[in-house]
Amino acid sequence: MIEVQDLTKTYGSVTAVDHVSFTVNKGEILGFLGPNGAGKTTTMRILTGYMPATSGTARVAGFDVFNDSIEVRRRIGYLPENPPLYPEMTVESYLDFVARIKNVPADKRSGRITDALQKTSLVDKRTELIKRLSRGYKQRVGLAQALVHDPDVIILDEPTVGLDPKQIIEVRHLIKGLAGSHTIILSTHILPEVSMTCDRVVIINKGKVAAVDTPQNLTTQLKGGQKIRLEVKAPEKSLQEALAQIPGAGKIQIESPRQDGHLLATVEAVPGQDLRSQIAAKVVERGWQLYELRGVSLSLEEIFLELTTDDAAHAQPTN
Amino acid sequence: MRSIYAIYRKEMNNYFVSPIAYVVIAVFLVLCAAFFNYFLTAIIQESFQMEMQGMRFGAPADFDVPTQVLRAFFGLLSTLILFFTPMLTMSVYAEERRRGTMELLMTSPVTDLQIVLGKFFASLSLFLLMVLPTASYMVFMYLRSEPRPPWALLLAGYGGVALLGGSLLALGSFMSSLTESQLIAAVLAFSADLVIWVINIFFIRGSLGRGNTVLQYLSVIHQYEDFTRGIVDTSALIYYLSFIVLFIFLTVRSVDSMRWRRA
């Protein structure tokens, strides 16, 4: 549905987007993850036909975003970072205007507007002036605006910013519900959002793609695999020694004893190996008391930090 | 066409939900009424004086009060237009840029030209709505004056007002597309209006020779004077229409350039 090839955007000497390539399949939700200023908004603006790229191509539904811009814009619903609202309009008249400029035929207009209002739970606010709405409601009006013409592709720039936790959950549900019939790209710098809503993630940093994968693969496979945490009552030195003897064990970290004398240790394992039973056996063999033993996979946060704080040399695409 | 109408509709809607349109129109009409009243009394008084002089020295003067009033009134309208059009156009693009709604328009399936035309026609409609109530004075004159006011002058006068207004609105909209601040847009539009207003008197004393005629041709108000005499000159028509087209073109370029700038 969306194909992006070597997309580059420079502003003077600043390169905001640097040879970004990715594809999004029909009905998929793609998460765009990166710190502020990574180039997420610029990429989205190029995809929506708002600004042209310096080089590279992007196609939406087979149409080039620059040469067939109008065709692309017909098929896209876009929520920019700041919802583009007219404060003096009522919610309904605003959506009517958007439906008109998005070429929704007159006989379908009121149906589509009602539909968008229902999906964003704005039905009882339809006659309210936009300027009287709270931040969360304004965000929802922005979302309704992106849905009103029932576009094939929906591009959402930080859709949950400014919402309270309950609203965030609602919006995530809404986005998940839209997938399948719509292709969705959403950007965010909030990690749980990506793992909860997206089918695939593009991690972008300093204009470059750092990784493209499913959230599950990113959390399990990437960067050295599993870690094992254990809580045990044992002398520190001999524990270190004993753990190091286990084949396949990597770096071992032991925190200084807590008040009750328990030690917390973290063992990094070689990818693909589960050391838990061996560690348990070792502890029992030495006659120590084992209180906890569990595998920890790297969280998205850790992967994200690792990918985005590494040197440029390490920030090359990993797959 | 449908897209132009959608933009037009929204613009008109926005004009009338904000107080600016009402205030501008109300103040404009109060000023018009006051000046019209003043012209009427002053010119009637003058005509009495002329008549008395005529009686004293024989040969009664031929003094056409309605024509004199209309000329003075259309002259005044041009000055009021100079002051009022920047207020009608200052928000047209500046406010959309400030609010980020330009991004909505520019990512919708409408061309830049459709956006610009929709907005231009809306500001022109508002302008005509502002000027139209003054036609009621003309009805009053038509019913009560002797001789009746000449139709040609009335029509040419309002035609001139529409063309002059359209030109200054096109210029003002262009200025509004250059900035995010309504105030700067208004100041730019007003200054530019003034310059093309008086461009001929800047150099009229200089010994530019040919250049003088060119500058005179370029002045918006010089072109307008013929209309207040009831004359519709093709060269004036061409002047105003090309003026409007030029600034609509420049506005389209300016909107397009927003895509290339860093937001």
Q: Which residue would you say has higher pLDDT here, B13 or A215?
A: B13
Question: pLDDT at residue A85 above 50?
Answer: yes
Contact A50 B7 (CB under 8 A): no
The domain locations on chain A are 2-220, 227-297
Higher pLDDT, B117 or A32: B117
Q: What is the pLDDT of residue A248?
A: 75
* pLDDT tens digit sequence for A243-284: 888 877 777 888 777 777 788 888 877 766 677 888 888 888
**What integer pLDDT is reported at residue A313 of this predicted model?**
40
Using DSSP's 3-state secondary structure scheme, residue A30 falls into strand
Alpha-helical (H) ranges within A186-245 are 191-197, 215-220, 236-245
CB B217 within 8 A of CB B204: no
Task: Let me know: does B230 contact B74? Beta carbons within 8 Å.
Answer: no
pLDDT for B253 beyond 90 = yes
Whole-number pLDDT of residue A311:
45
**Nearest of A135, A139, A104, A141 to residue A123 by alpha carbon:** A141
A96: left (phi over 0), alpha (psi -120 to 50) or beta: alpha
Torsion of CA A78, A79, A83, A87, to 10 degrees: 50
Asked whether the predicted pLDDT for residue A226 surpasses 80, the reply is: no
Please report the DSSP string for B170-229 in residue order: HHHHHHHTT-S-HHHHHHHHHHHHHHHHHHHHHHTTS--THHHHHHHHH-HHHHHHHHHT
Whether B263 maps to a domain, the answer reads: no
Q: Scan for tokens 């100041």, then name that residue.
A: B187
A228-242: average pLDDT = 83
Instruction: Specify burial of residue B17 (Cβ count, 10 A radius: 0-12, 13-18, 19+).
Output: middle
Q: Which residues of B touch A (CB under 8 A)?
A: 2-3, 5-7, 9-10, 13-14, 17-18, 99-111, 259-260, 262-263
CA A39 from centre of chain: 14
pLDDT score for A257 = 73
The pLDDT of B1-22, averaged and rounded, is: 89
Determine the 3-state secondary structure of A55 from DSSP. Answer: strand
CA–CA dist A166, A241 (Å, integer): 49
Rounded average pLDDT over B69-96:
91
**pLDDT-derived band at B90, boundaries 50, 70, 90:** very high
Q: Which of B51-55, B129-133, B153-157 has the lowest mean pLDDT?
A: B51-55
**How many CB pairs (< 8 A) connect A and B?**
74
The answer to whether A204 and A32 are in contact (CB under 8 A) is yes
Higher-confidence position of A112 and A319: A112
Evaluate if residue A120 carries a pLDDT over 60.
yes
Q: How many domains are there within chain B?
A: 1
Q: Which residue has the tokens 């001929």?
A: B200
The mean pLDDT value for A175-197 works out to 84
Flag the least confident range among A55-59, A81-85, A229-233, B73-77: A229-233
Class of domain A2-220: alpha beta
- Looking at residue A276, its pLDDT comes to 80
Residue with tokens 């004199």: B68
pLDDT digits (tens, 9 = 90+) for A137-178: 899 999 999 999 999 999 999 888 878 888 888 888 888 888
- Is the CB of residue A66 less than 8 Å away from at least one CB of chain B? no
Nearest Cβ partner for A97 among B10, B99, B262: B10
Does residue A303 or residue A199 have the better pLDDT?
A199
Residue A207 confidence (pLDDT)? 84
Number of H helices, E strands in chain A: 11, 14
Note the pLDDT of residue A317.
44
pTM value surpassing 0.90: no
> E-strand spans in A95-193?
153-157, 183-188
**Angle, nearest 10°, between helix axes A91-101 and B2-17?**
160
Contact residues on chain B for A86, CB-CB shorter than 8 A: 10, 14, 99, 101
Q: Are A289 and A295 in contact (CB under 8 A)?
A: no
Q: How many other CB atoms sit within 10 Å of the CB of residue B7? A: 25
Tell whether the model's pLDDT for residue A316 goes beyond 50: no
pLDDT at B224: 87
Give A-chain residues touching B2 at CB under 8 angstroms.
Answer: 100, 103
Kindly state the tokens that stand for A11.
């502003």
Contact (CB<8Å) B106/A50: yes
Average pLDDT over residues B256-260: 87
The pLDDT assigned to A319 comes to 40
pLDDT greater at residue A89 or residue A167: A89
Nearest to B3 among A52, A87, A101 (CB): A101
CATH of A227-297, picked from 3.40.50.970, 3.30.750.24, 3.40.50.720, 3.30.70.3100, is: 3.30.70.3100
Q: Answer yes or no: is pLDDT of B203 > 70.
A: no
In this prediction, residue A144 carries a pLDDT of 93
Find which of A92, A100, A156 to mutate to test the B interface (most B CBs within 10 Å of its CB): A100
Across A113-125, average pLDDT: 91
- CA A108, CA A91: separation in Å to the nearest integer? 18
Q: How far apart are CA A197 and CA A154, in angstroms?
A: 14
Q: Is residue B222 part of a domain?
A: yes
- Residue B33: give the domain boundaries: 2-258
Q: How far apart are CA B81 and CA B89, in angstroms?
A: 12
Give residue for tokens 């809607």: B13
Beta bridge partners of A157: A187
